[in-house]
Amino acid sequence: MCKEVEKVNASLSALDDITVPSRVIKLPLSWNDPQTQLAAKRYQQTVRPNAPWCPSNPEFIRRINGLDSIEDVMNIVFEAEYMVLGLGDVYLGAPVATPIDPRHRMVTTKYNPARPWTPENAVGIGGAYLCVYGMEGPGGYQFVGRTIQMWNPLRETEYFQKGKPWLLNFFDRIKFYPCSADEILQYREDFLRGNFHIDVEETTFNLGEYKAYLESIKESAAKFKEHQEASFQAERQRWIDQGLDHFESETDELEVTVDEELPSDCEPINATIPGSVWKVLVKEGDVVEKGQQVAVLESMKMEFPVEAEYSGVIKKVYVKSSQQINAGQMVAAISAEG
């Protein structure tokens, strides 16, 4: 096998002569989309209230890259061409891409700990890479917005052919253009059904030409990188000064501070796992049915509903949003019917 690999390598032309297909694909982007804002808000509520990248990921990107305004961050995202260097980052055709122009390569840290929920097709930056999330799930890249689907589970269309339900290819270049939050919802509804057109330009990418381009901008690129690295270090020092440079989970030191005495005529509704309370869906005096959700917990990067085992009236609620709780801890007391 090694001899065959050596033979193939010896037959290859010089790298500078390599030319590969490289489509330019223009995609709509809802900048700082409400769904990405919601994900950041939920993270603050249930995971890390003092995270330096919350509540605004674009502001964090601005700060850590030393840019003057969030508009500068937005302009770079829309000016850049992101070359796809990896596909299926975790799942479903999710691209890992980096700007061709090094002066567009904004860098960030990732969420620490990871985010429990990310909306489908959120667009984020982690390190120097951009990713479009293929589906809902956990994540750590800093949000810039939301776009259309990378994967089509419904049908074949102009952009999703038989045997290839993913949108992008290696060496494609993604170019974003702005749209509103309402527009992206409609585009997403139409795209999977073949009713939304995207511009695809068939081009090529030549490594030798690219290296010559890098040589032509090396001074401005070096200046950009120097300023960026200084800003990155200044942000990290700010974390140290404010005690934000590390994260300690409260789970191991959790103390129950609520009154957990169960009224004599009630049954408990207990949490079955440890986690944090994302939503409390009932209040005292509410009438609930058996199987109705009374709260939603976040744990292990997933959501878990807490349901009533009886129909009846909620007599007492013991938890609140953002609270850490243990397995077996009472969420509510219910006066059961019958």
Residue 212 domain-assigned (yes or no): yes
Could you tell me the CA-to-CA distances from 103 to 89, 141, 163, 175, 200 in Å, in that order? Answer: 24, 20, 37, 16, 24
Which one has a higher pLDDT value, 94 or 18?
94
Instruction: Name the phi and psi angles at 116, rounded to 5.
Output: -70, -30
Grade residue 256 by pLDDT with cuts at 50, 70 and 90: very low
**Are 200 and 53 part of one and the same domain?**
yes
| pLDDT tens sequence across 38-72 | 999 989 888 888 899 999 999 999 999 999 999 99
Under a CB-based contact definition with an 8 Å cutoff, are residues 92 and 151 in contact?
Answer: yes
**Are 37 and 171 part of one and the same domain?**
yes
> What percent of the chain stands above pLDDT 90?
67
**Residue 230 has what pLDDT?**
95
**Are 284 and 193 part of one and the same domain?**
no
Give me the number of domains the chain comprises. 2
Residue 6 domain-assigned (yes or no): no
**Residue 221 has what pLDDT?**
96
Residue 7 domain-assigned (yes or no): no
Q: How far apart are CA 125 and CA 108, in angstroms?
A: 7
Residue-averaged pLDDT of the chain: 90
pLDDT higher than 50, residue 257: no
Residue 5 domain-assigned (yes or no): no
**Residue 254 has what pLDDT?**
43
**Are 50 and 196 part of one and the same domain?**
yes
Residue 14 domain-assigned (yes or no): no
**Residue 75 has what pLDDT?**
97
| pLDDT tens sequence across 76-95 | 999 999 999 999 877 889 99
Question: What pTM did the predictor assign?
Answer: 0.77
Name every residue whose Cβ is closer than 8 Å to that of residue 255 and which is 6 or more positions away in sequence: none
**Are 199 and 290 part of one and the same domain?**
no
Question: Which of 209-213, 228-232, 252-256, 295-299 has the least mean pLDDT?
Answer: 252-256
**Residue 37 has what pLDDT?**
96
**Are 147 and 192 part of one and the same domain?**
yes
| pLDDT tens sequence across 102-145 | 999 999 999 988 888 899 999 999 999 999 999 998 899 999 99
CA angle 59, 137, 307 (to 5 degrees): 115
**Residue 324 has what pLDDT?**
82
Domain housing 206: 20-242
Grade residue 22 by pLDDT with cuts at 50, 70 and 90: very high
CATH of the domain at 72: 2.40.100.10
